[in-house]
Structure 1
């Protein structure tokens, strides 16, 4: 990348989920270099020449979908591009999150700046204006089937270019007409192919996948830490995390998780206190953390690798290769991401499922020194009993959301588009499952911290001890019933804000400890 701290060059630099989020959050500025502009200009000239010659090329001088055999005159090509944005703006439902809409803009500029789409520089510069000034179009969440691109959401995304639709401007939702009055901007007059280039693509699916990558990474990292704290609280064994075991079944995710958890348990007095106990092995929810968390890590890695291909690809149609070659293909089809998103959705649900089992295990009172329901005076107090009802409900809801969206297809466009990916639905669904997972992990964090308390005055490893201290500055120990919903809200905030990750990183740096594994770069960088 050309100066990774300040600038990202669209169409040239390698885009990742992390970089896309930093651009969206204003930490990096996206620019279009002169060399990319030269490619864009050349591609635009090819489109203009096609119009002049009059040879039929899909979407440039023909109708769309089943109307691909309908010839459009030279004089009507511009009207065609404006019409497609309007006719395809059929989205319904609640608007998507503004950051996702902004990510869609960023991902679309990256794809169009490759110079194979015939887009005009002026159009790209107007999109950059929206990104740089945080003027974000309002996009309905429903209506895309994830093939022939995310047509409906992308149409809504780009209505403001022609003076239509609504935008979020300075935390207020206003019409584009009102925005133009405030800013003095004028609608663009889209040229041949531009409308089609704007709405053909997978940017709705990909923008959701960007957030899935970021949120799932956060949850996976914290699930390992919380699981390690629960092992301490319930005096589980450290042996299932030995590298000697995992080298005999060397899945990358398993090795990574086992190494991280073992490093957090290193030097623990709690571990040493039960070295000679007569328990042979722990329940699966403790013993199989490397296998279950590790499998979800592998799913995350798979989606990350596929997403990075997509973020650096051209996904519209037709593709302008050169003066003599335009190809009407299917690079807008969302299937490559749709299937991986469904896989990641299942992986997300499974982290919540095993977390709920650890919470239940903590309440049973079968670990020496830890009272039933994690409270000494029960009967008059219910302790942490009902918190697990919530995680059971959330885990069950997630299981119901795991049916793969990509397993379905309903023909559209009078049969011209006879197989679609439904990846747009999968992306939205995966984020719902992640939202539930954050809540489950928040409750396990509270539960693990409560169990951990009963091990005092014994100390854990320095990382977990410092994390526990931090938790206690936010949520106190519970010796009697209280409104636990308030605790849960604080726990959710800790999960979303990466509180315990920050503590772990600070302690690691200060004490020169390492949570690194041989796969740390693959699993920690996105």
Structure 2
């Protein structure tokens, strides 16, 4: 992937990942010819509005509760600069570089659709910064998820006008110094541009997208960890019989059972039917049902993000497909669809974490595993606590996730003198999701380590010549 052409309609997950984690300029991000034409057409429509002296929200009026304050055209540039300076009040640690790059790319993509009123010069500066590796410092906290991600996007936009700080080649610099490093200059924002840069869902979309991609990888890892635990515990594969799952045809449950059969294919560490132990505990037997349901939540988030990634989330929007120019206020900045999806995904990933921790507990508790494995996975228990505290750490992380899984989207606090009287808390949902994902990654690593120790101990009793499954060996 050498070049990515933005048109506001076709940006893919793969392109976002490549830009977020890749070297600046590899791939290079450019505007498509169609986008260039549409952006230029919309910017010229804004110029005509000013010339006519028409009243339009955010162009010749104040913002939020100040919507009825009329601003003369002569102060249009000051208005747009002021929204950046007044709204850049985020707090907390700054987003990491991959997240910041994803934010920049997604914001540029929605502006490239050509309904927001930014000029080509402004949008090309965003892409120049992205391609040359100059990244604004954007604090994580301060967004209500409506109107979009105002505070964090104001910090992003500040770099364009030479305000704030930026990262370049690992060095933190004043915005103007950073621009000089790559032979760029700050711009003066024209009518509507400050509002267009700050008003939208690009921050929560960026985080949610990156975390959904990570969740897909962790779901695959959870299947492998579950299979290795099953082998360490001498579990049975009968519960993964295709006929069982076809009678409850949830697609991702069926797919998970198929994956488990594939991962465990050829394993000599699992058993068939055993009259003395006819079925395993739920944490082993119900892996397809639980993991499959969690994959449903991932799939929903992925479906929704594909829509959001190529949506216009600014307000107001400029429609000038005919000679008439319409500036229409709407609510595409509202993050409710994202907030609900991220909260759902957070609950699902917490469940993946819970079931993994319960398997760790079973591996370390000889009473629960019917003495297949020694207490705490050590043959010298007492003088050695073995893997006792591994389960403690997993339990602590699961407990944290249970708190974080409380939906942020059920909360709302009216703002801007009660004009913006319902908000999504979408960025809070995304940030919680990120922490839950991190905790899940730790717990799955702990399960893999614990199950591997169980396999080592079983080998001492059944012989080192026994084969693990195709996907766990």
Q: Are the counterparts in 1 of residues 262 and 471 from structure 2 also a CA contact under 8 Å?
A: no
Query: In structure 2, what is the Cα distance between the partners aligned to 1:126 and 1:42?
Result: 18
User: In the alignment, which of 6, 21, 35 is matched to residue 10 of structure 1?
Assistant: 6
State the shift of 1:177 in Å.
Answer: 2.4
State the shift of 1:50 in Å.
Answer: 0.9
Partner of 1:344: 345
Partner of 2:297: 299
Instruction: String of CA shifts for 1:131-163, please: whole Å, max 9, x gaps.
Output: 101111001111111101100000001101111
Q: RMSD of aligned C-alpha atoms?
A: 1.4
SS of the residue corresponding to residue 454 of structure 1 reads helix
Question: Does 2:432 align with 1:432?
Answer: no
Partner of 2:426: 423
State the shift of 1:340 in Å.
Answer: 0.4
Instruction: String of CA shifts for 1:276-324, please: whole Å, max 9, x gaps.
Output: 4521111111111111111110000000000110001000011112143
Partner of 1:514: none
Partner of 1:248: 247
Partner of 1:504: none
Partner of 1:100: 99
State the shift of 1:367 in Å.
Answer: 4.2
Question: Does 2:471 align with 1:459?
Answer: no
Q: Are the counterparts in 1 of residues 179 and 185 from structure 2 also a CA contact under 8 Å?
A: yes
State the shift of 1:102 in Å.
Answer: 1.2
Query: In structure 2, what is the Cα distance between the partners aligned to 1:180 and 1:8?
Result: 23
SS of the residue corresponding to residue 92 of structure 2 reads strand
State the shift of 1:326 in Å.
Answer: 2.2
SS of the residue corresponding to residue 167 of structure 1 reads strand
Partner of 1:335: 336
State the shift of 1:12 in Å.
Answer: 5.2
Query: In structure 1, what is the Cα distance between the partners aligned to 2:8 and 2:418?
Result: 37
State the shift of 1:420 in Å.
Answer: 0.2
Q: 1:150 to 1:120 in 2, by over 3 A?
A: same
Query: In structure 1, what is the Cα distance between the partners aligned to 2:188 and 2:112?
Result: 19
SS of the residue corresponding to residue 210 of structure 1 reads helix
SS of the residue corresponding to residue 61 of structure 2 reads coil
SS of the residue corresponding to residue 341 of structure 1 reads helix
Q: Are the counterparts in 2 of residues 18 and 214 from structure 1 also a CA contact under 8 Å?
A: no
Query: In structure 2, what is the Cα distance between the partners aligned to 1:16 and 1:334?
Result: 20
Partner of 1:405: 408
User: In the alignment, which of 441, 444, 449 is matched to residue 441 of structure 1?
Assistant: 444
Instruction: String of CA shifts for 1:83-141, please: whole Å, max 9, x gaps.
Output: 11001111111112221111110000110001111110000111001110111100111
Q: Are the counterparts in 1 of residues 167 and 178 from structure 2 also a CA contact under 8 Å?
A: no
SS of the residue corresponding to residue 344 of structure 1 reads helix
Partner of 1:285: 283
Partner of 1:131: 130
In structure 1, stretches of 5+ residues that fail to align are: 466-526
Query: In structure 2, what is the Cα distance between the partners aligned to 1:184 and 1:218?
Result: 39
Instruction: String of CA shifts for 1:404-463, please: whole Å, max 9, x gaps.
Output: 011000001111100000011111111111111111111101011111223433212233
State the shift of 1:17 in Å.
Answer: 2.7
User: 1:224-263 residue pairs with structure 2 within 5 A?
Assistant: 224-263=223-262
User: In the alignment, which of 6, 16, 27 is matched to residue 20 of structure 1?
Assistant: 16
SS of the residue corresponding to residue 345 of structure 2 reads helix
Partner of 2:313: 315
State the shift of 1:14 in Å.
Answer: 2.0
SS of the residue corresponding to residue 405 of structure 2 reads coil
SS of the residue corresponding to residue 8 of structure 1 reads strand
Greater mean alpha carbon deviation, residues 334-343 or residues 24-33: 24-33
User: In the alignment, which of 377, 385, 390 is matched to residue 387 of structure 1?
Assistant: 390
State the shift of 1:250 in Å.
Answer: 1.2
Query: In structure 2, what is the Cα distance between the partners aligned to 1:22 and 1:172?
Result: 22
Query: In structure 1, what is the Cα distance between the partners aligned to 2:397 and 2:31?
Result: 44
Partner of 1:501: none
Q: Given the two structures, how large is their TM-score scaled by the length of structure 2?
A: 0.95
Q: Are the counterparts in 2 of residues 352 and 440 from structure 1 also a CA contact under 8 Å?
A: yes
Q: Are the counterparts in 1 of residues 134 and 179 from structure 2 also a CA contact under 8 Å?
A: no
SS of the residue corresponding to residue 471 of structure 2 reads helix
Query: In structure 1, what is the Cα distance between the partners aligned to 2:269 and 2:77?
Result: 73
Instruction: String of CA shifts for 1:253-297, please: whole Å, max 9, x gaps.
Output: 21121111111111222235x544521111111111111111110
